[in-house]
């Protein structure tokens, strides 16, 4: 299956589990694939807006033509409802649904991206021989299985930064249950250090995404509400508000 077919099936919400994994991997590792996906996504939004305007014009024309002919307000309103349904079918209900009511999986894919390495950025020419450095090298190279093993092998594997990036690995591997088990304690622990507070803030966003991917909308809504309404949080606040409008 080529990239175009894979993207088409994603928008049709008809990917198999194997195809979904292939789609997620390509979106994260193939720049051309991601560019084509974002182009098609933006194109669908533009077409949807244009079709909405066309629909409004059509309904206004029908209204002017038949309003004077209708013998009662009830009959006119009944006719207007029928005309609206007919026009929506003509424009393609699937398109309206796809553009304005994306699936949980679509929302997840559109919003998930593994957080960049801010703990030990890999600098070319500098190669300290530590397990921590090797873990982040594997992480930046998207070798997530290796990164998980290395994060488990560092001197203090339970420290928040290592746990957070291990959760990023699990999410990238579509192992959301494992990611949730790691992220949940991070979101509920009151950290003192400012750097740890940042990870707690980010963990709330990613935990919401994990719940969303698992179709656990109640918990996803709770997490995104924390991100959107917490007075001290700034990370992904607007994105959280947008997702809430779709799942509330």
Domain ranges of the chain: 3-100, 111-247
Predicted local confidence at residue 86, as pLDDT: 55
Query: Nearest-CA neighbor of 111 among 248, 190, 205?
Result: 205
Say if residue 243's pLDDT is above 90: yes
Predicted local confidence at residue 127, as pLDDT: 67
How far is residue 4 CA from its own chain's centroid?
A: 20
Q: What is the pLDDT of residues 8-63, one digit of tens each?
A: 888 777 777 778 778 877 877 788 888 887 777 777 666 666 666 666 666 666 65
**pLDDT (mean) for 87-106:** 58
- Find out whether 185 and 219 touch, Cβ atoms under 8 Å: no
Predicted local confidence at residue 7, as pLDDT: 80
For 111-247, CATH number?
Answer: 1.25.40.10
- Find out whether 199 and 186 touch, Cβ atoms under 8 Å: yes
Q: How far apart, in whole angstroms, are the C-alpha atoms of residue 15 and residue 10?
A: 6
- Number of separate helices (H) and strands (E) present in the chain: 13, 0
Q: How far apart, in whole angstroms, are the C-alpha atoms of residue 170 and residue 182?
A: 9
Predicted local confidence at residue 24, as pLDDT: 77
Q: What is the pLDDT of residues 190-235, one digit of tens each?
A: 655 556 788 999 999 999 999 999 999 999 999 999 999 998 899 9
Q: How far apart, in whole angstroms, are the C-alpha atoms of residue 97 and residue 91?
A: 11
Residue pointed to by tokens 């080529």: 2
- Find out whether 49 and 36 touch, Cβ atoms under 8 Å: no
Q: Under DSSP, is residue 14 helix (H, G, I), strand (E, B) or coil?
A: coil
């Amino acid at each position: 299956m080529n990239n175009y077919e894979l993207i088409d099936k994603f928008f049709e919400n008809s990917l198999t589990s194997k195809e979904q994994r292939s789609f997620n991997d390509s979106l994260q590792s193939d720049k051309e694939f991601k560019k084509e996906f974002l182009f098609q996504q933006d194109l669908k939004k533009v077409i949807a807006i244009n079709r909405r305007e066309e629909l409004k014009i059509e309904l206004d024309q029908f209204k002017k033509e038949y309003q004077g002919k209708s013998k009662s307000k009830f009959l006119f309103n009944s006719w207007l409802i029928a005309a609206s349904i007919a026009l929506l079918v003509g424009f393609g209900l699937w398109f309206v649904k796809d553009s304005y009511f994306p699936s949980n999986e679509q929302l997840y894919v559109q919003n998930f991206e593994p957080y960049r390495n801010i703990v030990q950025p890999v600098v070319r020419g500098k190669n300290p021989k530590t397990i921590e450095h090797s873990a982040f090298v594997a992480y930046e190279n998207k070798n997530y299985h290796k990164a998980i093993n290395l994060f488990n092998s560092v001197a203090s594997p339970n420290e928040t930064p290592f746990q957070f990036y291990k959760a990023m690995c699990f999410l990238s591997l579509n192992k959301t249950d494992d990611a949730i088990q790691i992220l949940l304690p991070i979101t509920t622990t009151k950290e003192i250090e400012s750097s740890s507070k940042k990870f707690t803030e980010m963990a709330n966003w990613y935990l919401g995404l994990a719940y969303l991917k698992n179709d656990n909308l109640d918990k996803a809504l709770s997490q995104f509400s924390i991100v959107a309404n917490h007075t001290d949080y700034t990370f992904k606040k607007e994105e959280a508000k947008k997702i809430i409008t779709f799942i509330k």
